[in-house]
């Protein structure tokens, strides 16, 4: 039996390339490959960089589905089903919205597939598969098998993705991770992680966790081991890491020079609304940011607008806050109503969703607002995100932040990343907006 894995793309503007900043190696596929018993043949198409060959000989098509890629995934699924292939879907969207995915797949796997994937393939071979499988809570896959995309490595950013753990102990209302993992956290063994790092191809690492220090004692033990490898790494964390100075010190010592922090908002009422008040209380936030900067760690600060207390002044306040702290880079995004999160359910019950299945809407574009914000119109919200992003990525702003960068780090890799990312964002500010979701991916990959 031959399994064809597919990573669908979101979409791209006609005549343009897929966004460079989204082209990271697809770790999900390397893990799925590792979990696939060796007796099965496998192939992989990355829709972001190559054309999908529908005539590729295979028996089973396994598609990973995120909300933004659902439309494209369903279109590809239908094409393969017309050719008599069996389609399996898994991933965030297939898990959080199985009723949506089920009409386009023969099998839906909900949640993590460690411990069940081989059994599902067995059932298919035996002709007794079920339409729905509940995933496991195990995270025991050993080493991801990156050979599945070895031939495409040159197309990806030169960063190795490694997973430390999955899930997060918090319950922010807008977050797919909180809904998917039901606010639980689990991690791999230190031995597996270290072996993974040692065998990865690139020497810059992105630990794809959302909350790497959910288990503090484990994080301290891990950082101590990682420090011996002399690598540079980045991850996504929450601001409260700075409340534990020992942890912060160990993190820096282990090679962490840049972290993405989801501040989301600096307005206490918004933070309360999204259940994220714990992340940095009023008056404490500046001190925590300074502590992280003082430790020599740069911050990619991510903000989300569209909550009930957001108006243009909120953007101005966040821009001031970001400029004051001279963040390495920022993201000014609008709120996304991901299905089956409390935010989505609340907007739906209040009648504020403009389209209930916005991800499947015809002509839906990346950056289009799918709900009615309270204090601004959807068009204003979208325009304000663009306007304030522009302000942060002007060449003047990029230059003004350089002395702070030197004060935090002299690592040439970080300096290169600073210029690369800021200039990329300077030019990509408008490029992301308006990407037609689910379309144009069949044009020749440019
Ligand atoms: C790395 C990452 C990225 C990278 C690249 C991702 C890539 N595909 O190459 C970058 C930074 C570019 C990125 C961009 C974006 N991302 Co992202 N990303 C992640 C992140 C942090 C890790 C993904 C990963 O590798 N996980 C490790 C693998 C092993 O786990 P896994 O994918 O969950 O797979 C397991 C199971 O889910 C299941 N499974 C998954 N797929 C399938 C398929 C089959 C057939 C089966 C059987 C099982 C199965 O089995 C696997 C093993 O158990 C996740 C959050 C997270 N921690 O997972 C967000 C996440 C996937 N991203 C998300 C989003 C929203 C985006 C963006 C839209 C952000 C934006 N606003 O621009 C863009 C879209 C880019 C794109 N798709 O082209 C959301 C998706 C939410 C949703 N409901 O769909 C997530 C969950 C983050 C979040 N906090 O909500 N992302
Ligand atoms: S802290 Fe981050 S990952 Fe955890 S629930 Fe909140 S937004 Fe999601």
Evaluate if residue 444 carries a pLDDT over 70: no
Residue 174, domain CATH: 3.20.20.70
Residues 212, 110, single domain; the answer is no
Nearest-atom number in ligand 2 for the CA of 279 is 1
pLDDT tens figures, 219-267: 999 999 999 999 999 999 999 999 999 999 999 999 999 999 999 999 9
Task: Map residue 163 onto helix, strand or coil.
Answer: coil
Ligand 2 centroid–CA 121 distance in Å is 33
Residues 185, 217, single domain; the answer is yes
Residues 201, 77, single domain; the answer is no
**Atom 1 of ligand 2, nearest CA residue:** 170
326 belongs to a structural domain: yes
149 belongs to a structural domain: no
Residues 397, 323, single domain; the answer is yes
Nearest-atom number in ligand 2 for the CA of 176 is 8
Domain coverage including residue 273: 158-428
pLDDT band (50, 70, 90) for residue 16: confident
Chain centroid to CA 61: how far? 23
Ligand 2 contact, 172 CB (< 6 A): yes
139 belongs to a structural domain: no
167 belongs to a structural domain: yes
Evaluate if residue 415 carries a pLDDT over 70: yes
Ligand 1 centroid–CA 69 distance in Å is 10
Output the pLDDT for position 427: 83
Residues 247, 364, single domain; the answer is yes
145 belongs to a structural domain: no
Ligand 2 contact, 192 CB (< 6 A): no
Output the pLDDT for position 266: 95
Q: Which residue has the higher pLDDT, 129 or 13?
A: 129
Mean pLDDT of 190-202: 95
Ligand 2 contact, 210 CB (< 6 A): yes
CA-to-CA separations, 108 to 44, 88, 98, 101, 130, in angstroms, rounded:
19, 6, 7, 7, 9
Handedness of CA 204, 206, 212, 218 (dihedral sign): negative
Instruction: Report the number of distinct structural domains present in the chain.
Output: 2
Residues 122, 209, single domain; the answer is no
Dihedrals phi, psi of 358, to nearest 5 degrees: -55, -30
Residues 121, 162, single domain; the answer is no
Output the pLDDT for position 430: 61
Residues 171, 122, single domain; the answer is no
Mean pLDDT of 349-378: 94
Residues 117, 182, single domain; the answer is no
Output the pLDDT for position 281: 72
Residues lining ligand 1, CB < 6 A?
Answer: 9-10, 22, 24, 26-28, 31-32, 62-64, 66-69, 88-93, 96, 109, 112-114, 161, 163, 175-177, 208, 210, 333, 338
Ligand 2 centroid–CA 418 distance in Å is 25
Q: 52 with 445: CB under 8 angstroms?
A: no
Q: Which ligand is nearest to the CA of 265?
A: 2
Q: 69 with 152: CB under 8 angstroms?
A: no
Ligand 2 contact, 33 CB (< 6 A): no
Output the pLDDT for position 279: 79
Of 7, 9, 22, 136, the one to substitute when testing ligand 1's pocket (max ligand atoms within 8 A of C-beta) is 22
**Atom 3 of ligand 2, nearest CA residue:** 210
The torsion angle over the Cα atoms of residues 282, 287, 293 and 299, rounded to 10 degrees, is -10
Evaluate if residue 22 carries a pLDDT over 90: no
Tell me which of 87, 118, 134 is where a domain ends.
134
Residue-by-residue DSSP string for 95-148? HH-HHHHGGG-SEEEESB-TTTHHHHHHHHHHT---SEEE-BS-----S--GGG
Nearest-atom number in ligand 1 for the CA of 22 is 12
Q: Which ligand is nearest to the CA of 185?
A: 2
**Atom 33 of ligand 1, nearest CA residue:** 91
Q: Which ligand is nearest to the CA of 271?
A: 2
Chain centroid to CA 79: how far? 27
148 belongs to a structural domain: no
Residue 38, domain CATH: 3.40.50.2300
Q: Which ligand is nearest to the CA of 22?
A: 1
Ligand 2 contact, 48 CB (< 6 A): no
Residues 65, 164, single domain; the answer is no
Ligand 1 centroid–CA 253 distance in Å is 28
Nearest-atom number in ligand 2 for the CA of 276 is 6
**Atom 74 of ligand 1, nearest CA residue:** 22
Average pLDDT of every residue of the chain = 94
442 belongs to a structural domain: no
Evaluate if residue 443 carries a pLDDT over 80: no
pLDDT band (50, 70, 90) for residue 446: low
Contacts of residue 213, Cβ cutoff 8 Å, sequence gap at least 6: 219, 237, 241, 244, 247, 251
Residues 180, 111, single domain; the answer is no
Output the pLDDT for position 75: 95
pLDDT tens figures, 387-407: 999 999 999 999 999 999 999
The neighbour count for residue 130, using CB atoms within 10 Å, is 11
Ligand 2 centroid–CA 50 distance in Å is 33
140 belongs to a structural domain: no
Residues 173, 53, single domain; the answer is no
- What percentage of the chain has pLDDT greater than the value 70? 98
């Amino acid at each position: 039996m031959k399994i064809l894995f597919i990573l669908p793309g979101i979409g791209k503007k006609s005549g343009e390339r897929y966004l460079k900043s989204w082209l990271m190696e697809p770790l999900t596929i390397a893990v799925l490959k590792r979990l696939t018993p060796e007796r099965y043949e496998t192939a992989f198409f990355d829709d972001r960089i190559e054309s999908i060959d529908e005539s590729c000989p295979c028996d089973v098509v396994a598609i990973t589905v995120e909300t933004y890629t659902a439309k494209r995934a369903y279109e590809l699924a239908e094409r393969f089903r017309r050719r008599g292939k069996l389609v399996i879907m898994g991933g965030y969207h297939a898990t959080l919205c199985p009723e949506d995915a089920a009409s386009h797949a023969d099998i839906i796997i909900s949640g993590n597939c460690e411990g069940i994937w081989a059994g599902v393939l067995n059932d298919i071979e035996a002709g007794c598969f079920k339409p729905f499988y509940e995933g496991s809570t195990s995270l025991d896959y050993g080493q991801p098998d990156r050979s599945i995309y070895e031939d495409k490595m040159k197309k990806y950013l030169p960063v190795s993705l490694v997973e430390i753990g999955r899930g997060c102990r918090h319950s922010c209302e807008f977050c797919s991770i909180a809904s998917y993992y039901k606010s639980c956290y689990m991690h791999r063994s230190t031995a597996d992680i270290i072996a993974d790092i040692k065998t990865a191809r690139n020497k810059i690492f992105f630990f794809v966790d959302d909350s790497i220090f959910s288990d503090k004692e484990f994080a301290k033990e891990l950082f101590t081991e990682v420090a011996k490898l002399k690598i540079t790494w980045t991850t996504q964390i929450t601001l409260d890491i700075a409340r534990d100075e020992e942890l912060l010190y160990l993190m820096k010592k282990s090679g962490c020079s840049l972290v993405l922090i989801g501040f989301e908002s600096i307005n206490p009422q918004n933070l309360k609304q999204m259940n994220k008040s714990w992340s940095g209380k009023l008056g404490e936030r500046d001190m925590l940011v300074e502590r992280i900067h003082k430790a020599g760690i740069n911050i990619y600060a991510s903000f989300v607008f569209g909550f009930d207390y957001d108006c243009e002044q909120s953007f101005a306040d966040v821009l001031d806050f970001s400029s004051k702290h001279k963040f390495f880079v920022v993201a000014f995004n609008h709120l996304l109503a991901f299905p089956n999160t409390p935010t989505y359910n609340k907007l739906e019950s209040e009648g504020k969703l403009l389209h209930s299945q916005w991800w499947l809407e015809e002509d839906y574009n990346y950056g289009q607002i799918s709900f009615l914000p309270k204090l601004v119109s959807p068009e204003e919200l979208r325009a304000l995100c663009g306007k304030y992003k522009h302000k942060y990525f002007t060449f003047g702003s990029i230059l003004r932040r350089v002395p702070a960068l030197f004060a935090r780090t002299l690592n040439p890799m970080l300096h290169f990343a600073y210029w690369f990312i800021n200039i990329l964002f300077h030019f990509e500010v408008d490029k992301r907006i308006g990407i037609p979701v689910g379309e144009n991916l069949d044009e020749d990959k440019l």
